[in-house]
Amino acid sequence: MYKILTYNNISVAGLERLARDRYEVASEIQHPDAILLRSFDLHGVAIPDSVRCIGRAGVGVNNIPVEECSRRGIPVFNAPGGNANAVKELVIAGMLLAARHICEAWDFARSLSGDDETVSRAVEQGKKRFAGTELAGKTLGVLGLGAVGVRVANAAVSLGMNVIGFDPALTVDRAWELSASVSRAAGIDDSIARSDFISLHLPLNGETRHMIGAARLEAAKKGAVLLNFSRAGIVDEPSVCAALDEGRLSAYVSDFPTSGLMGRKGVLLLPHLGASTAEAEDNCAAMVADQIRDFLENGNIRNS
Ligand code: MLT
């Protein structure tokens, strides 16, 4: 019997891959063979000696002490692309939230009261106050052309946007094979300077931490919208706040609420919802459960 220690609710589609007659899966278990988790932060947690592999039902592995795992010979599995469609759809929604002032307009509409005539006068005011801009014809800069970035780029093209992109980790040719409709940006700075919307799709690591800071944001177009559905640490938050205060950015749409962003004008926050769809949760859990099973039963290490 293999024992799997879970730290988050894992979708049934994943748990079903671990047949009950061969696997015991629980949030408290002695001598686990594997750990299966989602966003729980494993840094600082004593990983039992019995653990032979770790599965992250998602893409980012920054919540796992990967170096320690490498030292101990514990493979870490993730689910590349498993939630890419879900994140893409929320990024497009994020652009629309900002471009059409949907959150502010929603609050305004909900606060209306009085008779029909009063409400209709207020509606006229709202129409003027929340007039927005269209996405079509605007330029989107996609930083990071992995599974999510490429999908965002292609969806934006279908909305009539001009898309430029850059990926520090891919050769330019490979990136362009993946995203035929995206035009080439010379680099991150070039993407930022030319974009009305800038969307981040990079993993958080030593190279990308605080990659979007004051110097880069100074080069942004006035009124640009920055979207972060990657990780909070990729931006230097005080610099983002300063860029909002100066009007350099008109909005920061982030899937990662932090105390420094609360209540700030121009900040639109979601509670890390990018991957939270039934479909994405099923995909990721199934992908990672299959990898754990293949490793424990056959010794195979595969990337999804
Ligand atoms: C990811 O890295 O894919 C997401 O953080 C997944 C999640 O929300 O659990």
In the chain, the DSSP E strands lie at 2-6, 23-26, 34-37, 53-56, 76-77, 139-143, 162-166, 183-184, 197-200, 224-228, 249-254, 267-269
ipTM summary value:
0.94
Task: Say if residue 75 is in the same domain as residue 118.
Answer: no
Encoded amino acid at 13, one letter: A
Is pLDDT at 281 greater than 90 in this prediction?
yes
CA 114 / ligand 1 centre spacing (Å): 44
pLDDT of residue 172: 57
Dihedral (C-alpha) 175, 90, 61, 191: value to the nearest 10 degrees? 40
8 Cβ closer than 6 Å to some ligand 1 atom:
no
Instruction: Look up the pTM and report it.
Output: 0.93
Structure confidence by residue, pLDDT tens digits, 95-129: 999 999 999 999 999 999 999 999 999 999 999 99
Task: Say if residue 259 is in the same domain as residue 128.
Answer: yes
- Enclosing domain of residue 27: 2-82+278-298
CA 275 / ligand 1 centre spacing (Å): 6
82 Cβ closer than 6 Å to some ligand 1 atom:
no
163 Cβ closer than 6 Å to some ligand 1 atom:
no
Domain count, the chain: 2
Nearest CA to ligand 1 atom 6: 58
Q: What are φ and ψ of residue 77, in 5° steps?
A: -105, 145
In 105-160, the DSSP E strands lie at 139-143
Q: How far is Cα 206 from Cα 60, in angstroms, rounded to an integer?
A: 14
Type and span of the H or E element at 19: none
Task: Say if residue 52 is in the same domain as residue 196.
Answer: no
Task: Say if residue 151 is in the same domain as residue 219.
Answer: yes
| Averaged pLDDT, 47-61 | 97
Q: What are φ and ψ of residue 212, in 5° steps?
A: -100, 95
Q: To test ligand 1's pocket by mutation, which of 37, 59, 151 has the most ligand atoms within 8 angstroms of CB?
A: 59
Task: Say if residue 138 is in the same domain as residue 237.
Answer: yes
Q: How far is Cα 285 from Cα 17, in angstroms, rounded to an integer?
A: 9
CATH code assigned at 248 = 3.40.50.720
275 Cβ closer than 6 Å to some ligand 1 atom:
yes
Structure confidence by residue, pLDDT tens digits, 185-208: 668 899 999 999 999 999 999 999
